[in-house]
Amino acid sequence: MSVLKKPIITRLICELNKQKSLRSLNVINSKYSTDIHTRNNVDFFVQNHPCLEKPSVNKKKAFYILEEDVADSIAEVVKKNIVRNNVIIEANPGPGILTQSLLKIVTDNLIAVESNPEFLPYLQELQDNERDKKLSIINYDMFDMYKNRNDEKLDQENEIVDLLPKISWTEDVSASIIGILHPRLESWFMPYIAQEFCQGSGLFMAGRLQWFLFVSPRFYRMLISKKSKKLDTLFELLFDIKICHQVPISNIYPKYSKMKITKMAESVNENVTYLIKFTPKPESSDILHPHEVNKFILFLKQLLLKSSERLIPRMEELVPGCGMYLIKDGFSMMQSLKTITPKQCLQIFKLLPSIPEYYNSGWRDFLVNEGLVVDHDDNTADVTDKNTDKNIPQNMSSDRPG
């Protein structure tokens, strides 16, 4: 299968870049064997592709696996951790080292989605030499999906979805996605996955997608910490999370840029990247309705603004008079935000609309201003009928993570 088409102007630019890459590759092949296995060495790729040499601080740049033994170990881990290995999507496969290893374990299709045109010739060569014709190639940046949602990106997502099996939401995962997430993208891309999953949009139109993502030590620390923050709270509610593998940062190209990591837990190794499996829970619609996702993220942002505070005094700032209802629901005046669990966060969030004081609160006014309150949320006839003179709590912000 050839590289899938894009709109005319973008496709022409892509073709020009590919031709340039092919000419460069022809020069390279005059010095080295055309057998891709012969070219499987780090020095070859780093010398001929400057994007692999310097540390990456630009979150638009991708990270790659360039060593065959590392790639084989990752493929084995993926094989052991997927229920069905019929379809795998590889985000930013680069020159195809991990792609080769994944082709050994996939039973149906492997979709290589590469953002950098200069690596497409390597993937095309793999595709031409692949006997079972299991490899499809798409020139697209999967980790750029969370922003600039234009028609072109939606068309490209649809092309990927068209290649995926359509499996019932509650039956099984429809495909597995593997990639290395840039550390500077983690706080933006991960909430995007949660939102798309709850809404059943984007790539999730094909069903529940299982993600194998390499993340930074800092993000891993957040996942294993017992403190409830907005990201790990959301993910613990919606996904089953498993730590599958570790790869030394020295085996990732280009090199990770140095990031300040304070108070690193003893169980976290700052010299490795962690391969985390995120499996969406089939009962997600019962946990959080799609129209509640953005509202819940904002609620977590406000509730957990200062983890040193106590729960009920903080909630009284958002919804004055709610304290006695929280006490009736099992919460204590002395409970700290440090000890609150993800399930308790969701419990409070769903309790609020049943509290009479909620309808005259600054928190609800804030949601109305953000366009996040609809009729069936609050059982009100007119959600815009609010007290316009009421002040929104000073520390409320409309910043959204995605």
Binding-site residues for S-adenosyl-L-methionine sit at 65, 114, 141
The DSSP-derived string for 249-275 is GGGEESPBPP----S--TT--TTEEEE
Identify the H or E element spanning 280. strand 272-280
Are the C-beta atoms of residues 254 and 52 closer than 8 Å to each other? yes
What Å distances lie between residue 152 and 3, 6, 361, 362, CA to CA? 16, 8, 41, 39
Distance CA 85, CA 256 (A): 30
Nearby residues of 354 by Cβ (< 8 Å), 6 or more positions away: 325
Q: How far apart are CA 39 and CA 250, in angstroms?
A: 20
Helix residue spans in 30-143 (DSSP H): 42-48, 68-80, 97-103, 120-129
* Contact criterion met (CB below 8 Å) for 93 and 67: no
From the annotation, which residues make up the binding site? 65, 114, 141
> How far is 74 from 241, CA to CA, in rounded Å?
17
Q: What is the rounded (10 degree) CA torsion for 168, 173, 177, 181?
A: 100
- Angstrom CA distances, 111 to 88, 133, 153, 177, stand at 6, 11, 17, 9
Residue count (the chain): 402
